[in-house]
Structure 1
Amino acid sequence: MHGILNLLGAAGVVSASFSIARDSNSSDPWADWNEETAFTRKNYTETPKGLINVYERCGGIGHYGPTACSQGIDAMCTFKNDYYSQCLPVADPNAPVGQKPAGPKPAKLSPLVHGKPVGFASAVTGGGDAEPVRPKDVNELSDLLQDPEPRVIILDKTFDFTTAMGTGVIDGCKPWGDLEQNCQVALGLGGDWCNREKPDAPKVQGLEFNKAGISPLWIRSHKTIIGSGDKGIIVGRSIRMMGVENIIIQNVKVTSINEQYVWGGDGLDIWGSSNVWLDHLTVSRIGRQMLVVHEGSNKNITISSIHFDGFTVFSSKCGTESSTSHYWGSKFSGQDDSITFINNYMDHFSGRAPQVGDKNESSISLTHVVNNVWEAVSSKAHAFEVLTGGVVLAEGNLIYNTSIVIDESHGVGLIYMPLGNSGDDLCTKAIGRPCTPNNLLQSGSFNASDPATLDVPEWKDNSNFPVAEAADEKLREKVKANAGFGKL
């Protein structure tokens, strides 16, 4: 298997009501890795490293959790691809990807949640009205996120994971230049990305990185995570939602994840999950994708009022006027997705803002892009990339100072983005009403609208299409003032 595998200790004692034994050697989670015992199907209770439920991830690139599978049945850690292995029942080797739900969905939102979800995730309840809990440190936060019970988790401080797992050293490559030139370099991860995608790039040895950056915080179903005021900050570690459902993350900042390294870690990762609402977040200083939605079906996802703050010191565009702009913005590449992308603010971006599609004709990444604002600082920046499999309806958006509205260098999937001064009646057959036109202000032209986008039957399989406001200066000021954390 490609990639680095590692073991963390089981989660630690966090409170009188929520406790799990923590491995005594958790200060160095790589210390006791043993390939001969990591993937055993028997003697589950003998491993000191904790147990994984059936259908959960047990290995792969960036995985630093336990690898022993147990749920009272015969299961084994099964290699799926370069990116992950999964605990599967031995009698069911072709079982679908995804965790089993943690329990029944809570009936209503917590009164601590601000507003209500709109768009495809409008039915999300997260942890419901469970009693709020405030984790006191990084260990307790990690444990609460993985609790099988519904939880409302309040973040009222900075949780800095930067050095929590120590540092690792790995070789890589430098496709764009040296770190000393403020260029991002690539860690030797990503399914052997350096050799596969950049075989001619100079190799580099001894890259030191923070292990927490590529070891995400795992979250189980039925969770609400809310930042308190401007204090809910997660530093140095991403949040991964894999095979789960019914998640709310609101008013949180995720920042500073191995910024100088491609494959240094994503910010927010939705992987084969459903009913997820991400709202009023700030994502900044990330090594790889600020937000990625991928691998399998991701149904009923709403991404709202997020500030994608792309300002960076290390860039894959180093040495150009885009040198302070992050390229790896948002990537939506699941095989059967429904995503509402609304009221978000993108600045200091150079691309993938967002990228939609996975170059697969059998995939559908259905994305409704509504009332967002883009502000580029580079004349070389582009907003959209829509690949094969991407199906994008964009309305009521304001794209400012962006010379390339859509990058067509990798091909163009299906996108419909009406322009002009009046509503577009063609949208009626897809979403039951006319569309609100988009506004390209001091930006390049857009000629890629394809009416066939509106013929995709999946539009009629969905509902909850928010009505777009007019894409004018008033919208621009409103979105910029409200997007991001610390504003609720």
Structure 2
Amino acid sequence: MFWIDHVSTSLIGRQHIVLGTSASNRVTISNCDIDGTTSWSTNCDSYHYWNVLFLGSQDLVTFKNNYIHHFSGRAPKVGGNTLAHVVNNYFYQTDSSGHAFEIDSGGMVLAEGNVFQNVVNVVTSPVGGQAFTSPDSSSNAACSSYLGRACVVNAFGSSGAFNIKDTGFLTNFSGKNIASASSATDAKNVVNTAGYGKI
């Protein structure tokens, strides 16, 4: 098990956070500030493209309370049979036509209680893997059988659509310790609490 908490990354040459294609097993990344501002990616709106890669074999990743901003893509990219619980993060973009999520074959994403501000393309199309994006309270009731609670809706400000309702993979959460989720309104405060020195 790995836990990365209250870390700030910026001016990265390649990837901010990457889980290789081998098994990392259970990983939690929480309260981190991932700053994609860069002077070396002029072809990508001057924002970082390779941000967060979850490509491990049978990994269970909790990605919670992080501030991901000024990115142009792969924030995160999920594949390689990774089960990712993306909860209560604040995604912020400005002046970029890039994307947040890229979900490849084998990737499984449960996204709930997140804020997407100015994210023109929340997810690339087509989606190769599976995702449940907690689109509304009626659909979110499907989570109860697997998480023991309904999922929490995401919030959007000047952002694109994120309306995927795959539920078959949710059984993979059964019997596991699952991160709690507060409202997307609470997730807006992540900009003040995420990163180094903000404990």
Aligned residues of 1:369 and 1:392 also touching (Cα < 8 A): yes
Aligned residues of 1:400 and 1:440 also touching (Cα < 8 A): yes
Show structure 1 runs of 5+ residues with no match.
1-274, 359-363
Of the three residues 301, 310, 319, the one matched with 2:27 is 301
Of the three residues 182, 189, 192, the one matched with 1:469 is 182
Of the three residues 456, 459, 479, the one matched with 2:190 is 479
Of the three residues 108, 118, 122, the one matched with 1:401 is 118
Question: Aligned equivalents of 1:379 and 1:327: distance in 2?
Answer: 11
Q: Does 1:378 align with 2:95?
A: yes
Aligned residues of 1:336 and 1:365 also touching (Cα < 8 A): yes
Aligned counterpart, 2:63:
341
Aligned residues of 1:419 and 1:439 also touching (Cα < 8 A): no
For residue 487 of structure 1, report the CA deviation from its aligned partner: 1.4
Which residues in structure 2 correspond to 1:82-231 (within 5 Å)? Answer: none
Question: Aligned equivalents of 2:138 and 2:92: distance in 1?
Answer: 24
Q: Please give the TM-score of this superposition, normalised by the length of structure 2.
A: 0.93
Question: Aligned equivalents of 1:421 and 1:376: distance in 2?
Answer: 26
Structure-2 change in CA distance of 1:421 and 1:483 (3 Å) = same
Question: Aligned equivalents of 1:446 and 1:323: distance in 2?
Answer: 22
Structure 1 counterpart of 2:174, one-letter code: K
Q: Return the structure number with greater relative CO, CA threshold 8 A, min gap 6.
A: 2
Aligned counterpart, 1:288:
14
Structure 2 counterpart of 1:485, one-letter code: Y
SS at match of 1:346: strand
Structure-2 change in CA distance of 1:297 and 1:393 (3 Å) = same
Aligned counterpart, 2:136:
420
Question: Aligned equivalents of 1:459 and 1:482: distance in 2?
Answer: 28
Q: After superposition, what is the alpha-carbon deviation per residue over 1:276-316, rounded to whole angstroms, capped at 9, x for unaligned? A: 1100000111111110012321112100011001000000x
Aligned counterpart, 2:4:
278
Aligned residues of 1:428 and 1:434 also touching (Cα < 8 A): yes
Aligned counterpart, 2:37:
311
Question: Aligned equivalents of 1:341 and 1:279: distance in 2?
Answer: 10
For residue 434 of structure 1, report the CA deviation from its aligned partner: 0.8
Of the three residues 447, 450, 459, the one matched with 2:173 is 459
- Which ranges of 4 or more aligned residues in structure 1 deviate by more than 6 Å? none
Equivalences, count: 199
Aligned residues of 2:113 and 2:187 also touching (Cα < 8 A): no
Q: After superposition, what is the alpha-carbon deviation per residue over 1:346-371, rounded to whole angstroms, capped at 9, x for unaligned? A: 1110111100003xxxxx20111110
Aligned counterpart, 1:247:
none
Percent identity of paired positions between Structure 1 and Structure 2: 39
Structure-2 change in CA distance of 1:449 and 1:379 (3 Å) = farther
For residue 373 of structure 1, report the CA deviation from its aligned partner: 0.5
Show structure 2 runs of 5+ residues with no match.
none
Aligned counterpart, 1:369:
86
For residue 336 of structure 1, report the CA deviation from its aligned partner: 1.2
Question: Aligned equivalents of 1:350 and 1:387: distance in 2?
Answer: 17
For residue 430 of structure 1, report the CA deviation from its aligned partner: 2.0
Structure 1 counterpart of 2:148, one-letter code: G
Which residues in structure 2 correspond to 1:74-85 (within 5 Å)? Answer: none
For residue 422 of structure 1, report the CA deviation from its aligned partner: 6.7
Aligned residues of 2:84 and 2:110 also touching (Cα < 8 A): yes
Q: Please give the TM-score of this superposition, normalised by the length of structure 1.
A: 0.39
Structure 2 counterpart of 1:408, one-letter code: S
SS at match of 2:24: strand
Aligned residues of 1:423 and 1:437 also touching (Cα < 8 A): no
For residue 446 of structure 1, report the CA deviation from its aligned partner: 2.0
Aligned residues of 2:133 and 2:163 also touching (Cα < 8 A): no
**RMSD of aligned Cα (Å):** 1.7
Of the three residues 49, 53, 57, the one matched with 1:331 is 53
Q: After superposition, what is the alpha-carbon deviation per residue over 1:28-61, rounded to whole angstroms, capped at 9, x for unaligned? A: xxxxxxxxxxxxxxxxxxxxxxxxxxxxxxxxxx
